[in-house]
Structure 1
Amino acid sequence: MVEIKTPEQIAKMREAGLVVAAMHDACRTAAVPGASTKDLDEVAAKVLADHGAKPNFLGYGGFPGNICTSVNDIVVHGIPDGATVLKEGDLLSIDAGAIIDGWHGDAAITVFVGEGHSAELHELSRVTEESMWAGIAAVRKGNRLVDVSRSIEGYIRRQPRPASGSYGIVEDYGGHGIGSQMHMDPHLLNYVDRRRGRGPKLVPGLCLAIEPMVTLGTPKTHVLSDDWTVKTNDGTWSSHWEHSVALTESGPLVLTAPDGGKAKLAELGITAAPDPLA
């Protein structure tokens, strides 16, 4: 069943989303050469405590961290630990979540550690982030779930090929519904699979976590022996961006963006819904 939220529940999710944004700001600042991914986890834990929020990753299916820290060829679900020390030139995705009064927020960013990153890596992150926004722009009344998938995939496919040959759209992981739980129906592919049909109609009160994961090579991945860490099969690096979005009667509200998505959606010719906390 797809959970439809009331405006009051969306307002609670907005509170949780702003905590996630604060976690990302603090972790981005702390992600410097010499810091361990455990250091970042502790930074995230402090932000959660300061805001009176709970982590939605810690303990989820036994996951041992407050955030996921995925470095270079790790696509998602990297476990923070003291042994993984960030180096100059690393590419790091930070997936973070928070719960306020039982309502969830979830978002991911890609961070450049230090200096010296290639133009190809910068373009990988840009393409991934912009494909996310293309998907967000498709969250409109009357559209169906497949329209979001098509917008994400279409944006990526239209970009010039990288020197590695192609962008791999990771197939085994995707976006999801979010609300009273972190992962809910519907599952959102980042590409169109015609076997799955058009998916549910997008209606006010629907909330989605939109999260493309793109590699510089194969879309194929495997899970390490810890049963969490997901790596690319060919060792190419990847980028991961995510926002939680609510569809309201007034349009989309990006719950995990500090401005509710107002500025970026305006660039795309879309008016963001009013912020219920403003």
Structure 2
Amino acid sequence: MVRLKSPEEICKIEIAAKIVAEVLAEMESYAVEGASALDMEKAAEELIHKRGGIPAFKGYSGYPYTLCVSVNEEVIHGFPLKEKIFVDGDIVSVDCGVNKDGFIGDAAKSFVVGSYRSEKDKLLLQRTEEALLKGIEMAVAGNRVGDIGYAVQNCVESAGLSVIRDYVGHGVGLSLHEDPQVPNYGRQGSGMLLRTGMTLAIEPMVASGHYSLEILEDGWTAVTADRSRAAHFEHDIAILEDGPKILSSL
């Protein structure tokens, strides 16, 4: 069931989402050679608590950490481990969720450590972020969920990249994952009708190779089956009468 949010609720979701945005901005300074995913984890948890929030991922369905830190072929749900030390050219995708007074923000961003290893890596990050913005543009009352997915898929696949299909975006705000699901692929004019008051987490996950995934032995980390590199960008948005508003930007 989709719960439409009041203007007051949207404001409270935005407060949580802004904390996430602040964390992701801070994480860029840790996406450097020699730093570790655990460095990110410690800094993020400290900042979240400093802002009066609670890590929304930690304990969710048994997930043990504040952040997901996924490197290179890791698409999502990578553990922020101390042995995960960044080297030049790594693609580091950081996903963060915050609970602030019972309202949830959830966003993600990918970084390159130092210099891109290839032009395809550069294209991967550029197109994944561009696809996010294209999807957000379609999050308008009267459109349908499929319009978002079509915009994302078209942007990604026109560059010779692949949209991950095993994981999707979702509603967000009163809990971490709400209805509706928001796939990053689809047909125009298909799916649930978008309405004013919806709050969505739109999150393209993109591979430079094939979209097939495997789950590692930790039971969480999803990697590309062909070990091609991946990127992940995510924003929380609210559908307002005058169009979509990004809640998770500074």
- TM-score bracket for this pair, using the shorter chain length: over 0.9
CA contact under 8 A between 1:95 and 1:106: conserved in structure 2?
yes
Q: What letter corresponds to residue 215 of structure 2 in structure 1?
A: V
Deviation per CA, 1:175-227: give whole Å up to 9, x if none.
Answer: 00101101111111111169xx8222111110110011111111000111111
Contact 1:149 1:190 in 2 (8 A): yes
Deviation, structure 1 residue 116: 4.4
RMSD of aligned alpha carbons:
1.3
In structure 1, the residue matched to 2:224 is 232
Secondary structure of the 2:55 match is: coil
Q: Are residue 178 (structure 1) and residue 152 (structure 2) matched? A: no
Distance of 1:117 and 1:5 partners within structure 2 = 43
Shift of 1:113: 0.9
Matched with 2:101 is 101
Unaligned runs of 5+ in 2: none
For the 8 Å contact 2:116–2:122, the answer to whether it is kept is no
Identity of aligned residues (%): 37
67-76 or 55-64: bigger deviation: 55-64
- In structure 1, stretches of 5+ residues that fail to align are 162-166, 259-278
TM-score (norm 1): 0.87
Q: Which residue in 1 is equivalent to 2:110? A: 110
1:87 aligns with: 87
Contact 1:3 1:179 in 2 (8 A): no
- Quote the residue 2:35 is aligned against: 35
Q: Is the 8 A contact 2:236 2:246 kept in 1?
A: yes
Which AA in structure 2 matches 1:123?
L
Residue 240 of structure 2 is aligned to residue 257 of structure 1: no
- Could you tell me which amino acid in structure 2 is paired with residue 202 of structure 1? L
1:242 — aligned with what? 234
Alpha-carbon distance, 1:241 to partner: 0.6
Q: Who is 2:50 aligned against?
A: 50
Deviation at 1:115, TM superposition (A): 2.3
TM norm structure 2: 0.97
Look up the match of 2:138.
138
Which residue is equivalent to 1:73? Answer: 73
Number of residues of Structure 1 aligned to a counterpart in Structure 2: 250
In structure 2, C-alpha distance between the alignment counterparts of 1:76 and 1:157, rounded to whole Å: 20
| Alignment partner, residue 222 of structure 1 | 214
